[in-house]
Amino acid sequence: MIIYMFFKLGESITDLNFGFFQRYNFYREIGLSYILKGILTLIVFCLTLYFSKNLVLTLFLETLALWFLIIVYDLKILKNKLNLKMKTYKVIFLLKICFSLMLYTLILPYLNFITRYQVEKFFGTEELGYYSAITMVIVVISTLFGSIFIIIIPKISYLYKDKNINEIIKIILKINLAIFVFTIISIIGAILLGNIVFSILFTDSIQKYMYLLIPTIITSSILGILNYLSTILISFHDLKFVLIANLIPAILCTFILKTSITQYGMLGSLYSLIISLLLGILIVGVRIYFLLKKRMTHA
């Protein structure tokens, strides 16, 4: 547990460094930092676990690899950029501003928990394992989209401050199109290769649950749209509304989840997510529309 806490601390430092890299427009360094950490920790984890069969040793070496890259890559680049002098009043000021944003980041983990909890409650632990194996796609795609969308925050903020509404609309439309194309390609890939890939990863026993894959991809894309629209509101510094707009779908999902699973089985959990996330998109979309309209009026 202690070793794993140090690993998570390393991930937190990595996220913090992301902010510093972004501040100085070190986007190439952001990509290399995440790629190197991902590849090295994955290789160390797999090889150590395979040869040693010792999970504690595996976690220790994986944590060591992560911290090694933080020190020799991240901090080496940032050493002349960081001012580590602590100013308590500024920390408290930032915490007050970002408190609602912190609560917002807990909503997706909550949705993952509540859907899986209900699936386990209805179908048992073994069925939950298969469900989780397929729906992990939601977490993977959400993480991918989140890493991309967070990069646009400074640009959107600048455009909003500069009252360049047309450019913001162009970005929104381009991202919509990109997500749509990604969804179509992913669905085609799932149809052609889904059974093969998941059978290799989880054996042929997962075949009878593959009907969950395409709805999972659709759910992931809808979540991606909600996340990037929320990112735009964050760019507008509308943090409290971001929390409210994402909290409402989470509450709705909680209320309709049990009924949906009773009626549609495991698919019901995805249906309840889709309905709830679409509501969130509607709320956030309307908010963005009125904020842009107001900004354009005062341009």
- How confident is the model over 73-97, as a mean pLDDT? 73
For residue 97, what are its two tokens?
A: 């501003």
CB neighbour list of residue 67: distance below 8 Å, 6 or more residues apart: 6, 10
What is the reported pLDDT for 234?
A: 87
Residue 278 DSSP SS3: helix
DSSP secondary structure code for residue 253 in this structure: H
Q: How many degrees, rounded to 5, is the angle at CA 298 between CA 296 and CA 299? A: 60
Closest CA to 203 of 140, 125, 116, 130: 130
pLDDT tens-digit map of 177-190: 988 999 999 999 98
Closest CA to 233 of 284, 185, 190: 284
DSSP secondary structure code for residue 74 in this structure: I
- How confident is the model over 152-171, as a mean pLDDT? 84
pLDDT confidence of 90, banded at 50, 70, 90?
Answer: low
Per-residue pLDDT at 24 exceeds 80: no
For residue 30, what are its two tokens?
A: 């952001």
Q: What is the mean pLDDT of the chain?
A: 86
CB neighbour list of residue 277: distance below 8 Å, 6 or more residues apart: 219, 222, 223, 226, 249
Q: Give the residue, 260 or 105, on which the prediction is more confident.
A: 260
Please state, in angstroms and rounded to a whole number, the distance separating the CA atoms of residues 256 and 278: 14
What is the reported pLDDT for 245?
A: 92
pLDDT confidence of 83, banded at 50, 70, 90?
Answer: low
Backbone angles phi, psi at 159, to 5 degrees: -65, -40
pLDDT confidence of 150, banded at 50, 70, 90?
Answer: confident
pLDDT tens-digit map of 199-240: 887 888 888 889 999 999 999 999 989 988 998 898 888 888
Please state, in angstroms and rounded to a whole number, the distance separating the CA atoms of residues 185 and 211: 17
CB neighbour list of residue 61: distance below 8 Å, 6 or more residues apart: 44, 45, 48
